Homo-oligomer: A and B are copies of this chain.
Amino acid sequence: MAVSLRVNTMPADKKKIVLNWKGNFRFTATTQKDLSILFDAPVEYGGEDTAPSPTETVLASLAACTGYDVVSILKKKRQNITSFSVETEAERNNEPPKVFTKIHIKYIVKGTNVNKEAVERAIQLSYEKYCSVGAMLKKTAEVTTSYELRQD
């Protein structure tokens, strides 16, 4: 396996987000490219459950970040993936700040003649090198991974 494998990762330039309060605990975030992300608090915490909470969104971002890496690497390795999903489960501190303490990431890869070692290597490269969200969350949480490979 070439260590020099080049992977498209997200841009290194500065990021800016503007978040506007929409009443109660609803917020709309807007990126520099004018794309939106909606937030709300759960009903049990005074919100209305109209959108995910900030911590759910962070966990989703982890799944998307590592999902991007794995799809990107498997494409470069010319693997024929027909379906791909990532399940992330997390436990949090009971006391504030309620940081994630344990995260499990499960990858479900489906395709035709997909190479098991390619999948394992893609997951490992994301975990060890590329996934920026993972690298941040690993500072507070024990992150573990697993995968299922289903051939079409």
- B-binding residues in A (CB < 8 A): 7-21, 25, 27, 29, 31, 33, 35-37, 39, 41-42, 44-46, 49-65, 67-68, 71-72, 81, 83-94, 96-100, 129-137, 139-140
Copies of this chain present: 2
A31 contact set on B, CB distance < 8 A: 52, 56, 60
A33 contact set on B, CB distance < 8 A: 42, 49
Query: Among the listed B10, B51, B55, B90, which residue makes an inter-chain contact with A55, where contact means beta carbons less than 8 Å apart?
Result: B10
Determine if A67 and B17 form an interchain contact, defined as CB atoms under 8 angstroms apart: no
Q: How far is the CA of A152 from the CA of B90 in the complex (A)?
A: 42
A8 contact set on B, CB distance < 8 A: 41, 45-46
Q: How far is the CA of A11 from the CA of B50 in the complex (A)?
A: 16
Tell which of A61, A64, A133 has the most Cβ of chain B within 10 Å: A64
A140 contact set on B, CB distance < 8 A: 135-136, 139
30 pairs, CB–CB < 8 Å, chain A vs chain B = A8-B41, A8-B46, A9-B96, A10-B53, A10-B55, A10-B98, A11-B42, A11-B45, A12-B94, A12-B98, A15-B88, A17-B59, A17-B60, A18-B86, A19-B85, A20-B84, A20-B85, A21-B83, A21-B85, A25-B72, A27-B63, A27-B64, A27-B67, A33-B42, A37-B52, A39-B61, A39-B68, A54-B62, A55-B61, A57-B57
